[in-house]
Structure 1
Amino acid sequence: MTQTPSKWVVDHIDQISRDGHVLDLACGTGRHTRFLLNRGFRVTAVDIDTKGLADLPDTNLSVIETDLEADPKAQSSISLNGSFDGIVVTNYLHRPLFGFLIDSLESGGILIYQTFMEGNERLGKPSNPDFLLRRDELKKVCSQEMTIINFSQGYVEHPGPAFMQQICARKT
């Protein structure tokens, strides 16, 4: 797995206040956690398996190992870290978290979200509809309480052929 941050995240990270506190949800091996720390953010990194973060310094980093889908205390564990100036989510979808994510943002906070969408089942994994956004889904989720800064959906070639949906939105 690549440690290079997503181009979508890189292109929109400057929307988050420079000294901000950012949640990296479903952080995996920490490619965005590393990028965020290097940019000077305070980071709360959350994943079911955080072994890939063991080499990172404790400074400006809070790590939460939890199963976001099965642990009933997962959201309260994250909430103990306060609200966030930014939230980054890539290649992960658990629809019941949408409201929690928006509620966890400070007013003016930024959501940067990128994951697979319908159509991807023709190319490979993920192919389960539970893990594929429907057309315009992120836009609809964010439109009530957020201002959409940028939105994109459809087929992409890089880093590999996929159908992706991406949004950068500011909480109003």
Structure 2
Amino acid sequence: MHDTPTPPSDWVRRWCTGLAPGRALDLACGRGRHLRWLAQQGWQVTGVDRDEQALAGLQGLGELLHADIESGPWPLAGRRFDLVVVTNYLWRPLLPAIIDTVAPGGRLVYETFGAGHERLGRPSRPDFLLQPAELLQACRELQVLGYECGQLPSPERVVQRIAAQRDDAVHHLPVWAVAPGG
């Protein structure tokens, strides 16, 4: 029996569709829902995860790095990507390193759980839930293209998500913190 692949996040599709393919990083890629989609769009993909079994199912898609990024060395030191995708993952000490992997002109698309999600289920520990505007603060050296925080209906969850670019040529746009879909 084959598992039906989970479709890519609407947020990831929204902020990656139409970009000229280049080098993409899917950090904490898991079973590769975004890695697969990006490869189908023509991106040269790199996936990083600590789950060796999950990575085994992604062979042939691109570069796969088995690494425990929370307790081991940062495997991407000095490397830059045109697109960095992070979903459903938060380890605060790595936020500066993650942002540093965005190449000049590159884009970060990040979506994970926010404070308030604990009343809905896991993750429920504050260590794994972004505080209000925390992504905005972490991405202060990037140009924010889009930002949302709030509760989504299906599956029900509280998220915080950002699309940001490392490019001084991008005009500063006003940031509107709104509930997703609002």
TM-score (norm 1): 0.89
Which position in structure 1 is the counterpart of 2:40? 38
1:49-128 alignment, distance < 5 Å: 49-58=51-60, 61-71=62-72, 73=73, 75=74, 77-79=75-77, 82-128=79-125
Runs of 4+ in 1 over 6 A off after TM superposition: none
**Secondary structure, counterpart of 2:147 in structure 1:** strand
Decide whether aligned partners of structure 1 residues 56 and 124 sit closer, same or farther in structure 2, where only a CA change above 3 A counts: closer
Decide whether aligned partners of structure 1 residues 50 and 7 sit closer, same or farther in structure 2, where only a CA change above 3 A counts: farther
When the two chains are superposed, the root-mean-square deviation of aligned CA atoms in Å is 1.7
Conserved 8 A contact 1:113-1:168: yes
Unmatched runs of 5 consecutive residues or more in structure 2: 168-182
Question: Residue 105 of structure 1: CA displacement?
Answer: 1.2
Code of the aligned partner of 2:12? V
The number of residues matched between the two structures is 164
Comparing both chains, which one has the higher relative contact order based on Cα–Cα distances under 8 Å and sequence gaps of 6 or more?
A: 1
What is the rounded CA distance, in whole Å, between the counterparts of 2:19 and 2:136 in structure 1? 19
Which position in structure 1 is the counterpart of 2:50? 48
**Secondary structure, counterpart of 1:79 in structure 2:** coil
Which position in structure 2 is the counterpart of 1:9? 12
Question: Residue 171 of structure 1: CA displacement?
Answer: 1.0
Deviations 1:27-63 (A, max 9, x none): 011101100100000111000114234344536x100
Identity %: 40
Decide whether aligned partners of structure 1 residues 15 and 110 sit closer, same or farther in structure 2, where only a CA change above 3 A counts: farther
- Whichever structure has more helix as a proportion of its residues is 1
Larger radius of gyration: 2
